[in-house]
Amino acid sequence: MLIRHFWDKFWEKTLAALALVAVLTLGGIFLLLLTNSWKAFSHISLSEFFSAAAWNPAAYETPTFGIGAMLWSTLLVTLGAMAIGVPLGLGTAAFMSELAPARLRNLLKPAVEMLAAVPSVVIGFLGIVLVGPFLARVFHLPNGLNALNGAILLAVMSLPTLVSIAEDAIHAVPKAYKEASYALGATRWETLLRVTLPSCRSGLIAAIMLGMGRAIGETMTVLMATGNATAMPNGFFDPVRTLTATVAIEMGETPQGTTHFYALFACALTLFVITLLINVAAERLAASYRKKGQ
């Protein structure tokens, strides 16, 4: 009896320690980013870092460390991806959980989830050889390496997250709601639009935000397909260079301990804070719909 009790306690503590590893890792990453970014700001003023447009740390004459253009590029690509991905993802989710026959759903769901298994280099490659030339032809552009290309690819990459979470949310709507709606004479379309979707709104918003978090942090795909010009983009047809791409391109070449090195940490910290805020907001919303669903 005592021995059984001991093992019970032992495994409980071991699993708790394992769970703590993830939390400690997150805390450690945050601390590392913070201490290294701190050093950057002894050379760069905060206002220059966030508001100046020009990022040219290895300039011919005076280096400049402004992330304005990159921040705008990141937002442009992410919002573009959401504009494409949200209708597509929510539409797919609604179709799958409400309208599709069971056999079709059993085919669709794993297919969408498989999209998450495609490596980002492969998607980036498709951006260069397929989406880029297509955009250039359709919009009569000199080339297709621009923000729109990145947005399309990121929309595809955020689909699995979007669809999967949105489908769960729609699925969690109590059957009684729908039955009541049908009893009042509403059609399936009216029920979906006026009853089902509004009653899982917070879950859908959580799906959108997690999809956005996925898109904002993606690196390889945008690095390959968006042209990486450092100029401030004027729209979706201009090449862009995102924060993630900048860190990925420059981290390897930068001697440790230089202002440039620390400035890259500051870029990473900015990105980390943005995704953290998005994820926290999404978690809160998701929690609220889970409670409501029960």
Partner 1 sequence: MWTGLLLLLLACTGRRVETLVIKGSDTEVNAVLQLAERYMELDSAVSISITGGGSGVGIAALLNGKIHLANSSRELNSHELQYAEQHGLRIVPHILAADALVIITHPSVGLDSLDMTQLAGLFAGDVSDWQALGARSGPVSLYGRQSNSGTFMYFRDKVLGRDFSPTLKQMNGTAQIIEAVRNDPGAIGYVGLGYVTEPDGSPRQGIRVLGIVPAGQTSAISPLHRDNLTQGRYPLLRPLYQFTIGEAQGRLRAFLDFEQSAEGRRIIEGNGYLPVEKGTFVTKGVDEVDKRGL
256 binds partner 1 (CB under 8 A): yes
Of 27-35, 102-110, 230-238, 279-287: span binding partner 1 (CB under 8 A): 230-238
Q: What is the closest distance, in whole angstroms, from the C-beta atom of residue 137 to partner 1 in the complex?
A: 10
231 binds partner 1 (CB under 8 A): yes
Cβ-based nearer residue to partner 1, 119 or 133: 133
138 binds partner 1 (CB under 8 A): no
Rule CB under 8 A: choose which of 56, 83, 104, 287 binds partner 1: 56
SS (H, E, C) the chain: CHHHHHHHHHHHHHHHHHHHHHHHHHHHHHHHHHHHHHHHCCCCCHHHHHHCCCEECCCCCCCEECCHHHHHHHHHHHHHHHHHHHHHHHHHHHHHHHHCCHHHHHHHHHHHHHHHHCCHHHHHHHHHHHHHHHHHHHCCCCCCCCHHHHHHHHHHHHHHHHHHHHHHHHHCCCHHHHHHHHHCCCCHHHHHHHHHHHHCHHHHHHHHHHHHHHHHHCCHHHHHHCECCCCCCCCCCCCECCHHHHHHHHHCCCCCCCHHHHHHHHHHHHHHHHHHHHHHHHHHHHHHHHHHHC
Rule CB under 8 A: choose which of 75, 171, 228, 292 binds partner 1: 228
Rule CB under 8 A: choose which of 30, 41, 43, 54 binds partner 1: 54
Cβ-based nearer residue to partner 1, 259 or 288: 259
229 binds partner 1 (CB under 8 A): yes
Binding site for partner 1 (CB under 8 A): 54, 56, 58-61, 128-129, 132-133, 136, 142-143, 145, 223-224, 227-232, 239, 241, 249-250, 252-256, 258
